[in-house]
Amino acid sequence: MKKRIFSGIKPTGDLHLGNYLGAIKNWIALQDEYDCVYSIVDLHAMTTEYKSNELRENVFKIACNYLACGLDPQKSILMVQSSVKYHTELCWILNCLTPLSWLERVPTFKEKSQTQDENINMGLLDYAVLMTADIILYKAEAVPVGEDQLPHIELAREILRRFNSRFGDTFPEIKGIVGKGARVKGLDGTDKMGKSLDNCLYLYEDYDMLWSKISKAVTDTARIKKTDPGNPNVCNIYSLHLLFSSTKDLELIITGCKNAEIGCIQCKKLLATNISEELEPIRTKYYEFLNRPDFVNEILFEGNKKANLFAADVMDEVYKKIGIDHGFFKK
């Protein structure tokens, strides 16, 4: 039997290279080795300010993106978190096992409490518990994510251990899987690439759009003129080359930059070309899926159905173990 994977992305906007390199690229690579459940976590998206029609639209767009990147519904389950009601049921059960102090210490909660201090809602505090429910509801053992999610996974491990020690072995241990693009920096060269910051390259962008942003991106700040030798190790453009360029291109850049044989413009043009080449087929398929809503909705419908069936069995087991199986309600 294959081990199970669960992962998800919030439908809060268009997907960027951080999402692709930190999560989705890994998801696709793991589809044969694991039984995978990949989700659009719309309930998590509600923790920040949103508009109903945009949320609805974003769920569909993210589904198209997953499929365009290579999520294969024959191999993996593609589902929408809110369509399996057990996520919130299990979240409540786990809430009653989770000390408040654990949640107040979560780095993303502390960060969000500062960046959206006008809206520090209970959902934000409970974010990691719902995420724990997402993962263990499918008895997943591995969670491919970017580095920023590792504290959440650590907390999930603590919560599921509490459940197991209180009610008996139910959920397997989980581990995070982070790949080569665990923390992709934005074009500012300092912050993590993120939807809320103006520092992203998006999956739908073509060469011209990519070039207009990359041409302005920060490089090795000590290299002022083309004739100055540069240091690829401190240059964010080089770190992106590491994720998109061939060994031959990398060698050319390292020697060319260190010996001032190639300038930043040439180096950036090569990067824009290489990113655009990798994204081109994804972009094309993305627009194809956007134009086939019935086809995509059918895939979601099937995925949600499979996820519901699996989760229902796990919840039966959970309810028995916690002592809520009176059967007082009959349809």
The residues of the shown chain that bind ligand TRP, judged by CB under 6 A, are 6-10, 41, 44, 131, 134-135, 143, 145, 149, 152
Single out the catalytic residue among 192, 213, 258, 269.
192
Of 146 and 263, the one with the shorter C-beta distance to ligand AMP is 146
Q: Which of 4, 5, 6, 18 binds ligand AMP (CB under 6 A)?
A: 18
- Tell me the two tokens of residue 194: 């993120």
Binding residues among 126-145 for ligand AMP as defined by CB under 6 A: 145
CA count, 13 A, side-chain hemisphere, 275: 31
Give the pair of three-digit tokens for residue 214.
């990359």
* Cβ contact 40:59 at 8 Å: yes
| Residue selected from 5, 9, 68, 155 as contacting ligand AMP according to rule CB under 6 A | 9
Contacts of residues 309-316 at CB distance under 8 Å and 24 or more positions apart, as own/partner, are 310/138, 311/84, 311/86, 311/87, 311/137, 311/138, 312/86, 314/86, 314/137, 314/138, 314/139, 315/86, 315/89, 315/90, 315/137
195: Cα within 13 Å, side-chain hemisphere: 13
Among the listed residues 195, 285, 305, 321, the single catalytic one is 195
CA distances from 126 to 44, 111, 237 (A): 10, 14, 37
Q: Which is nearer to ligand TRP, 26 or 276 (CB)?
A: 26
For the question of residue 216 being annotated catalytic, the response is no
Does 183 interact with ligand AMP (rule: CB under 6 A)?
Answer: yes
Give catalytic status of residue 192 as yes or no: yes
From 5, 6, 22, 241, residue interacting with ligand AMP (rule: CB under 6 A): 22
Pair of tokens at residue 49: 């300010």
Residue 263 binds ligand AMP (CB under 6 A) = no
Place of tokens 């139910």: 170
In the shown chain, the binding pattern of residues 162 to 181 toward ligand AMP, with x for contact by CB under 6 A and - for none, equals -------------------x
Q: How far apart are CA 68 and CA 134, in angstroms?
A: 24
From the CB of 36, what's the least distance to ligand AMP, in Å?
Answer: 14
Binding site for ligand AMP (CB under 6 A): 9-10, 18-19, 21-23, 145-146, 148-149, 181-184, 192-195
Task: Give me the active site residues, please.
Answer: 112, 192, 195
